[in-house]
Structures are given as C-alpha cells and as structure tokens.
C-alpha cells in the first residue's frame, strides 16, 4: 500500500467481513480501491479531486460508493455508503435484518449469518442448505456444520418491539449471538 492510503472501512456482509481501502493521490489525482487486499478500481490523473466511486462488494455484489468531499483547502473527507445508506445506518439496519454467531468447531472459526427476511443461512461465505420445520413455539431451521447438528430456533419474544428471537443451537448447546 502506498502513502496515499486515505481511508479503511470494515463492512460485515453475509458472506464475510470485508475490508475496503481507498487510496487518494491529491497531487496526482490517483484513485485506487482495494476490497480484501485486491485492487478492483484504479484511476490515474483525475483532474477533479472530489466526486464518487461506485463498485460492488462480496458474493451478493452489494453496491458500495465512496464519496470524496473537500472539507477545506487541501483537506478531504471520505465517506462510504452501502446500498445507498451511510455505513453506520447500513450496519444499524443490518442488525435488524440478520443475526450473526461466531463459534469454533473442530479448531475452525466459523461465522454463521441468518438473513431473517429470506431465512438463508451463510457460513464462512457459503450459503448452507437447510431444512425448516414448524414447532409448537415457532420454527426451527436445521443444518449441519462439520458433522455437528445445528438448529436456529425462531421464537416470538411476545413483545412487538423485539419481534422474533433467533437462537443458534449446536449439538444441544446455545451459542451467544455476536454484534459486529
């Protein structure tokens, strides 16, 4: 990475947590975007130093935009938008639409993500095949990871504000949800 590194962001998506790095050469007009260390966009000799760059991130090709704004004189501000929302707003909204658990099985770190709207389950970047069933107090989504029996239980909290509570159970043991 060069000395032109202007900003770094961490973005949690269903497939993984992605690192976005932005280089901005204010003397050369260079703009370079890296996603997870891989260069995905390069522009040299941009006469206009402000503006925006749009690109996609992750397996779901999530839309990302870096906004470059002049603050004063030769100072610039860089903001990242995901799906048209500020990163902060996107992450707040994401915590309502997904549940994430981090666990270790057989010495391997696993990141399990439930997309509540589709009931899709992801593990370390792969969409997992699941089987859903209705039970007395809600639903259960069954799958296996490294030969371990897993189940995400969805139970009503009984409170409208809290909605449905999702719990991951691996081999009969509850795994605490993590906030990213």
The answer to whether the beta carbons of residues 110 and 117 sit under 8 Å apart is no
Tokens of 25: 């050469």
Pairwise CA distance, residues 101 & 124, whole Å: 11
* Residue in 42, 71, 67 with CA at minimum distance from that of residue 53: 67
pLDDT value of position 2: 59
DSSP state of 129: P
| Domains, the chain | 5-83 (2.40.128.180), 97-175 (2.40.128.180)
Backbone φ, ψ for residue 91 (5° rounding): -70, -35
3-state secondary structure of 94: helix
- Per-residue pLDDT tens over the stretch 70-129: 988 778 999 999 999 999 999 988 888 999 999 999 999 999 999 998 999 999 989 999
Angstrom distance (rounded) from CA 86 to CA 95: 14
Residue 88 has φ and ψ, to the nearest 5°, of -60, -50
d(CA 36, CA 137): 41
> Is 72 or 171 the better-scoring residue by pLDDT?
171
* pLDDT tens sequence across 61-86: 999 999 999 988 778 999 999 999 99
What's the chain's length in residues?
180
How far is 32 from 28, CA to CA, in rounded Å? 12
């Amino acid at each position: 990475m060069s000395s032109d590194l202007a900003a770094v962001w961490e973005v949690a998506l269903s497939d993984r947590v992605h690192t976005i790095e932005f280089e901005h050469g204010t003397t050369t007009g260079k703009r370079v975007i890296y996603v997870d260390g891989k260069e995905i966009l390069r522009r040299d000799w941009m006469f206009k130093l402000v503006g925006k760059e749009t690109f996609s991130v992750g397996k779901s090709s999530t839309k990302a935009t870096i906004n470059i704004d002049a603050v004063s004189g030769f100072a610039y501000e860089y903001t990242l938008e995901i799906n048209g929302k500020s990163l902060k707003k996107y992450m707040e909204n994401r915590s309502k639409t997904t549940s994430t658990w981090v666990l270790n099985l057989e010495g391997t770190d696993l990141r399990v993500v439930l997309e509540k709207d589709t009931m899709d389950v992801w593990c370390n970047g792969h969409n997992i095949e699941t089987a859903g069933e209705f039970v007395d107090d809600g639903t259960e989504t069954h799958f296996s990871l490294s030969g371990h029996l897993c189940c995400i239980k969805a139970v009503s909290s009984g409170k409208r504000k809290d909605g449905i509570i999702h719990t991951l159970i691996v081999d009969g043991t509850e795994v605490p949800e993590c906030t990213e």
